[in-house]
Structure 1
């Protein structure tokens, strides 16, 4: 679900195969892809899922999408900090002249919905590229989206974070872990896991270190369902709230290598004030 090399652009994919997600703190996931162990969905059913794109940097294929994001306010979108990094873009996100958010487009090969210019980029100043902690950025849009596109953020102490909770991750990323990128939005059903599962899987490696206060561990015990390259920044949703953002991990859908998500409730103040 995460990038392991700077060439990969923090985006994950939802696929059914036991693929590996290459999204690491040190390197974002690939610029495009779908979800491991997932199925196609439409933005009509999940209008708060949007794509982050730059045609100038990533071409017209798939509308220039390279990361995912979620609408948390009519002019406010939240994504992964590494999606705005120089390692991914070759420049700071705020310097990309055609940075846009695409709303209402299930198939990135089409022209449905709207491409809205990003007016302001705010990257969490405490984002740690060594551990991947604090992997969150806020994009302010030049035009407002309908109120129905907004998905509330889970608060601290929300029952949605309890281990065993069923959750859904969304993205346009790699669907097999082998650079099989689809243009249609996908989702995959995962489960919130005990922090200890990710603490054991990621005690501190080149990929990053799991820190329970700012991260969420999710997947399936046997693997097979996960985010992957091209899904970075996309939402993890449970109980009608966004609880996490696709951040990093090792491989895509591998047993014993769950996905690691930014715990959005830990950054509510930053998001509100950005």
Structure 2
């Protein structure tokens, strides 16, 4: 009961001050199960179902509930057979790693296709300078207890961008974000993997949209923003940690990690989604992946 009261109070505050709060994007059941810290916290909206296993780098990070079953918590992407790229806010505060499992080759959360690879988590590493309040350096690596089989078409590593920020997609570039998150503000998560195309938004325009959230500027150079000016397309709760990318399949290049959005909802006009910019962390990723 206390969790429900606290959650209700949290969302009441968020909606009372939509211009001064942001939400990361794990699903609400993670909060209700007491597996996420109740800080001001922020699925794919406006998207469509992907061809099954056409995004073989996408994983589902799942958490065990108090009833013993696993449910989708965050997205993520395969770096190699031992390491998953994720958002720090998806794992922060977790000391019992047995609540986690990583599922590669997933498409439908309710139907077992036989292509799924379930792996326990042996450890995770958040960026040492991650700041929970501002989502600064919202990036983490998840290490698997046993390696994935990447010789099959349904599980492949994602490509990293070139080692220079000048190759990051400029404003207006069409990128894609994927996940099992909510299809609308307040709705349920998707049962199947969805994706949607979203244009990159300049840091200056994104800073103007989120002005007053964090001082002096809410959008750090290590963040990337994407969304349509008129709204209607976005990542949402349940997509956290998942990839923002160009290309598809084996040619996909990951540019961002789903991080946060406005507390008032997803896919709102003039409020793009905010992503951790992968190119800023290539050295850290290379030094720490297993």
Global fold match (TM > 0.5): yes
Alignment partner, residue 101 of structure 1: 102
* Greater shift in the superposed pair: 64-73 or 197-206: 197-206
User: Tell me, what secondary structure is at the counterpart of 1:64?
Assistant: strand
TM alignment of 1:164-243, pairs within 5 A: 164-205=172-213, 210-239=218-247, 240-243=252-255
* TM-score, length-scaled by structure 1: 0.82
Q: 1:204 to 1:269 in 2, by over 3 A?
A: farther
Q: What stretches of structure 1 of length at least 5 have no aligned partner?
A: 1-5, 9-19, 87-91
Query: How far 1:128 sits from its partner (Å)?
Result: 1.1
* Greater shift in the superposed pair: 27-36 or 223-232: 27-36
| 2:97 is the alignment partner of 1:121 | no
Q: 1:72 to 1:32 in 2, by over 3 A?
A: farther
Q: 2:79 aligns with which of 49, 72, 78?
A: 72
Query: How far 1:267 sits from its partner (Å)?
Result: 1.2
Q: What stretches of structure 2 of length at least 5 have no aligned partner?
A: 1-5, 9-17, 31-42
Query: For 1:144 and 1:171, how far apart are their aligned partners in 2?
Result: 22
Query: How far 1:28 sits from its partner (Å)?
Result: 4.6
Q: 1:110 to 1:32 in 2, by over 3 A?
A: farther
TM alignment of 1:12-161, pairs within 5 A: 24=22, 28-31=25-28, 34-56=43-65, 60=69, 63-86=70-93, 92=94, 94-112=95-113, 113-145=116-148, 146=150, 149-155=156-162, 156-161=164-169
* TM-score, length-scaled by structure 2: 0.77
Q: Is the 8 A contact 2:168 2:279 kept in 1?
A: no
Q: 1:246 aligns with which of 238, 251, 258?
A: 258
Q: Is the 8 A contact 2:261 2:274 kept in 1?
A: yes
Q: 2:275 aligns with which of 256, 261, 265?
A: 261
Q: 1:180 to 1:208 in 2, by over 3 A?
A: farther
Query: How far 1:242 sits from its partner (Å)?
Result: 0.4
Which aligned segments of 4 or more residues in structure 1 are displaced greater than 4 angstroms?
206-209
C-alpha root-mean-square deviation of aligned residues, in Å? Answer: 2.6
Provide, for residues 86-143 of structure 1, a one-character-per-residue CA deviation record: whole Å limited to 9, x for no partner. 3xxxxx2x42313111111100112331111112200111111222110001001122
Q: 1:122 to 1:185 in 2, by over 3 A?
A: same
Q: 1:201 to 1:29 in 2, by over 3 A?
A: farther
Q: Is the 8 A contact 1:100 1:116 kept in 2?
A: yes
Provide, for residues 47-88 of structure 1, a one-character-per-residue CA deviation record: whole Å limited to 9, x for no partner. 10001012245863xx411101011222111111000123xx
Structure whose CA Rg is larger: 2
Q: 1:75 to 1:261 in 2, by over 3 A?
A: same
Alignment partner, residue 15 of structure 1: none
Point out which structure has higher relative CO (alpha carbons under 8 A, 6+ apart): 1
